[in-house]
């Protein structure tokens, strides 16, 4: 298998006159848990839809598991991925097993022993006759992931699976992601609008804003920035400065209307991002 699982080169998507993706380029390497970070409406779901061939890009190049999208072999790549984009595509009146069986039949899988195995893997083995409409949000998200895992994919695409979960469910889902990545050796491409939700599990990050890829950075690079001080790119540096000063530190410098350099070594990137998000200040990127 190629070391590059997914590659986007200058991918643009227009809906009429609306520019949803603007020359987006990114690379997901084998073994990554790639966290795509951006606020609602930034283009995260659109990226996932064009990758999964649920929507066509206006122009640009997409390569998935070694197959270019414009080639006849792209479907071979699609057959080796699992995806849960937007809401889990489950039937409210059916239980977990019944929903999984439908997915198996759609995938041409007739060995239904994979259903019990996968439900156990995502900790849904004991749901019995309980219908999907009676599931908690965390259970619904885990079933969506189970449905995406039924074909034992090499690459898993998850669209905002942590959104709306309570703290305990977030921890459970993070643990499941690491388990999928390590035990099943599955590369994961996952989106969120909050960096702190993915910081603990992701190995690489991509920041997208208004359809543009702002920055790609590895987890190690991310952590190294903290020891040297960081430059946080925000929409309103003056507002962010007030929040920082009143809550955590005065050890920062406003570089421009959209940039603040924080020199304090006692604060982690995750703590800074969480604080700014709580006060409705969007972090567009982080750099040295």
Q: What is the pLDDT, as a whole number, of residue 2? A: 56
Phi, psi of 219 (to 5 degrees): -60, -40
Q: 38 and 162 share a domain?
A: yes
User: CA end-to-end span of the chain, whole Å?
Assistant: 34
Q: 175 and 237 share a domain?
A: no
**What are 235-262's pLDDT values in tens digits?**
888 899 899 888 888 778 888 888 888 8
Determine, yes or no, domain membership for 176.
yes
Cα–Cα distance, 65 to 6 (Å, whole number): 6
Q: 161 and 255 share a domain?
A: no
Helical spans, DSSP H, in 93-160:
96-107, 113-121, 137-149
The pLDDT confidence band at residue 212, using thresholds 50, 70 and 90, is very high
**What are 261-274's pLDDT values in tens digits?**
887 666 777 788 88
Give the torsion sign (CA, 210, 213, 217, 219): positive
Query: 30 near 7, Cβ under 8 Å?
Result: no
Q: 245 and 198 share a domain?
A: no
> Which region among 8-17, 107-116, 196-205 has the lowest average model confidence (pLDDT)?
196-205
Determine, yes or no, domain membership for 149.
yes
Q: What is residue 67's three-state secondary structure?
A: strand
CATH number at residue 83: 3.40.50.300
Residues 21-35, mean pLDDT to the nearest whole number: 97
pLDDT at 15 over 50: yes
Percent of the chain exceeding pLDDT 90 equals: 65
Q: What is residue 109's three-state secondary structure?
A: coil
Q: 87 and 209 share a domain?
A: yes
Q: 129 and 268 share a domain?
A: no
Determine, yes or no, domain membership for 80.
yes
The pLDDT confidence band at residue 150, using thresholds 50, 70 and 90, is very high
Residues 116-125, mean pLDDT to the nearest whole number: 96
Q: 100 and 193 share a domain?
A: yes
Q: 197 and 133 share a domain?
A: yes
Q: 114 and 247 share a domain?
A: no
Nearest residue to 230 (alpha-carbon basis) of 205, 259, 257, 256: 259
Q: 205 and 235 share a domain?
A: no
Give the torsion sign (CA, 269, 270, 272, 277): positive
pLDDT at 226 over 80: no
Phi, psi of 74 (to 5 degrees): -60, -35
**Model pTM?**
0.79
Determine, yes or no, domain membership for 221.
no
Q: What is the pLDDT, as a whole number, of residue 250? A: 79
Q: What is the pLDDT, as a whole number, of residue 282? A: 85
Number of domains the chain contains: 2
CATH number at residue 245: 3.30.70.100
> Which region among 32-41, 54-63, 90-99, 219-228 has the lowest average model confidence (pLDDT)?
219-228
Q: Which of the listed residues 215, 245, 275 is the one where a domain comes to its end?
A: 215
Cα–Cα distance, 23 to 11 (Å, whole number): 5
Owning domain of residue 268 = 229-287
Give the torsion sign (CA, 44, 40, 151, 108): negative
- Helix (H) / strand (E) containing 75: helix 74-78
Cα–Cα distance, 36 to 198 (Å, whole number): 9
Query: 66 near 154, Cβ under 8 Å?
Result: no
Q: Which of the listed residues 158, 193, 215 is the one where a domain comes to its end?
A: 215
> Which region among 32-41, 84-93, 203-212 has the lowest average model confidence (pLDDT)?
84-93
Q: What is the pLDDT, as a whole number, of residue 1? A: 46
Q: 146 and 50 share a domain?
A: yes
Q: 165 and 197 share a domain?
A: yes
Q: Which of the listed residues 186, 215, 244 is the one where a domain comes to its end?
A: 215
């Amino acid at each position: 298998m190629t070391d590059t699982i997914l590659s986007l080169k200058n991918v643009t998507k227009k809906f009429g006159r609306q520019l949803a993706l603007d020359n987006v380029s990114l690379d997901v390497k084998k073994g990554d848990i790639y966290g795509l970070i951006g606020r609602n409406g930034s283009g995260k779901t659109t990226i996932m839809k064009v990758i999964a061939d649920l929507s066509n890009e206006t122009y640009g190049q997409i390569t998935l598991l070694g197959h270019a999208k414009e080639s006849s072999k792209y479907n071979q790549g699609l057959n080796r991925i699992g995806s849960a984009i937007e809401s889990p595509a489950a039937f409210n009146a059916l239980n977990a097993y019944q929903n999984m069986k439908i997915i198996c039949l759609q995938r041409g899988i007739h060995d239904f022993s994979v259903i019990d195995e996968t439900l156990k893997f995502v900790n849904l083995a004991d749901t019995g006759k309980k219908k999907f409409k009676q599931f908690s949000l965390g259970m619904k998200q885990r079933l969506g992931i189970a449905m995406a895992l039924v074909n034992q994919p090499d690459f898993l695409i998850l669209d905002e699976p942590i959104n709306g979960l309570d703290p305990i469910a977030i921890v459970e889902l993070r643990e499941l992601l690491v388990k999928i990545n390590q035990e099943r050796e599955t590369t994961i491409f996952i989106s969120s609008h909050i960096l702190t939700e993915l910081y603990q599990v992701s190995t690489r990050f991509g920041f997208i804003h208004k359809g543009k890829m702002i920055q790609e950075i590895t987890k190690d690079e991310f952590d190294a920035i903290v020891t040297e001080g960081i430059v946080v790119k925000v929409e309103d540096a003056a507002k962010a400065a007030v929040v920082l000063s009143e809550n955590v530190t005065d050890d920062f410098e406003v570089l421009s209307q959209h940039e603040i350099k924080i020199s304090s070594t006692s604060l982690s990137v995750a703590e800074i991002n969480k604080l700014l998000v709580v006060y409705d200040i969007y972090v567009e990127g982080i750099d040295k």
